Amino acid sequence: MVIASFNINGVRGRLEVLLRWLETRRPDVVCLQELKAPQTAFPRAALEAAGYGSVWLGQKSWNGVAILARDAEPIVTLRGLPGEQEDAQSRYIEAAVNGVLIGCPYLPNGNPWPGPRFDYKMRWFERLSARARVLIDTGAPVVLAGDFNVIPTDEDVYSPERWTDDALFRIEAREAFARLCAQGWTDALRAVHPDEAPYTYWSYLRNRYARDHGLRIDHLLLSPDLARRLKRAEVDRNVRGWERTSDHAPVWIELADRAVRRRTKPASARAV
């Protein structure tokens, strides 16, 4: 089973990119973030023609999340996170696909720090952690796959000294991510690439993709039983080089049918 996450940065404007990648990679499940489309404008028909059922939570111009399933219809279990009734931002959707529960988060950026946007980011993180605790306590196979807008360690950014006061790299956000992982989640990319996990995002500015000045902010967190089935975790970096593409690249994992022999190092064991 291949499960992927892709911050598409505008699903209507980059639909051709998405369809091309789906045809190439053929993932079983895809979590999309930053749809930038209202609920009524999601390209469901085009995705159905490509073989993917979909559920989504849209928002005009901003945010938006979706879960796609190849030759299947995701069964929605939650739209939006509980805990802040006045929060109207579309940043979380959850669905069951082929026996696996998939949570798709799109965390707030939080800049500028300090300020109300960073405060909102941290409150949102607390709400996500509360939901994650509920999910992991069920013992069910669960994946949290999305754009967390957090750089977990110095190794996950091209020049850490330049990011000290950025909301993505603030110690508060990094510690929140570490506490989340400490619930028992495994950071799949870090587990497979313990020494040098690949970047997932490169800004459009200053030729940063060509210079590989990237960040790792898109993560797939696995519950314990799925962590034991983890075979591969990779980034389709070449997609970032396509024309009219997102500033993120798709990140994906492959799960075996049963436990595999692999030495993994949970993200919670790594220092921030």
Contacts of 82 (CB under 8 A, 6+ apart): 127, 130, 131
Active site residue 106: yes
Among 52, 106, 199, 201, the one annotated catalytic: 106
Contacts of 207 (CB under 8 A, 6+ apart): none
Least Cα distance to 55 among 39, 28, 29, 74 occurs for 74
* Neighbouring C-beta atoms of residue 128, cutoff 10 Å: 22
Among 147, 187, 218, 236, the one annotated catalytic: 147
Tokens of 245: 């593409």
DSSP-derived 3-state class of residue 134: helix
Active site residue 204: no
Question: Locate tokens 């720090």: which residue?
Answer: 113
Least Cα distance to 255 among 185, 181, 188 occurs for 188
Contacts of 54 (CB under 8 A, 6+ apart): 42, 44, 47, 48, 66, 67, 68, 69, 74
Tokens of 260: 């595999």
Active-site annotation, residues: 106, 147
